[in-house]
A = this chain, B = another copy of it.
């Protein structure tokens, strides 16, 4: 019988789940609010309800869950999760088992790691054995696949590519450091650049576009403005590309992977910064490993995480990638 797993992606706003077949097709989707601001107990209550709803009448091989945070995936513990209230070594798997029973195996992994697995399994990287994904969203996440296996670090904390120092004396990052990639190539960084540009009365159409919209949509407006030829907006995406290119060169020199995949919300604007990123990477990377690496946009988009989470289930069942 065809095996089916559920993949979940727990975001700060939404909790998305899908039934996924072992050939990587998404059969059905569900989504509810995550209520992450109310704390982990609310998130887990919502997650358990969604699992029950999704599994009803289905024969499920297991549940895979991607979460932004530091995960002890072996023990199913959510060590830290900056975007969910009240998380400190939270025993997520144990609590979920209490709510949904022991029959369904549960796998938990960092969300960017899930995205890396997803792209490797059934997305951009089906032909490669090693890849790195950079998810350019509110922050910058990362996941690393080496020789077909996730490298999540000694304690599940690997892949914090957003906190590689790009400009040692650069902009302050949320982590406390200066000049991190995240300070230049995230939605937060773009909002900072837009804010500073508007404060200095630059001539730009972004000012009109961002009036009366939520701050979440500012990167989208910067994208629109750049497409319309606004010079300030084009400069912003050039900054994104430059920082990203330096990071890519570092990754390639260090790890000699076959592919770098760019995901996250900002990848919608990939056409605006791809050229600059590749040019900067080429300028700084060593010739041979740089020639080898493919640098490309996500193929799975927002679904990379839920697909990767589902793969955790199939892998435990003995599935190997075709």
Contacts and interface: CB of A to CB of B under 8 A. Distances in A.
Contacts of A70: 288
A130 interface: yes
Contacts of A178: 284
A49 interface: no
Contact of A154 (B166, B168, B257): B257
A115 B291 CA distance: 27
Contacts of A257: 153-154
A163 interface: yes
A274 B93 CA distance: 41
Residue with the highest number of chain B CB atoms closer than 10 Å, among A130, A154, A285: A154
Given A151-B255, A160-B253, A246 B292 contact: no
Nearest to A243: B168
Contact of A157 (B160, B177, B283, B288): B288
Contacts of A204: none
A153 B285 CA distance: 15
A158 interface: yes
Interface string A250-271: 1101111110000000000000
Query: How many of these chains are in the complex?
Result: 2
Interface residues of A, number: 47
A224 to B, nearest CB: 29
A249 interface: yes
Contacts of A175: 286
A164 interface: yes
A212 to B, nearest CB: 37
A129 B158 CA distance: 14
A114 interface: no
B288 A163 contact: no
A267 B254 CA distance: 21
A317 interface: no
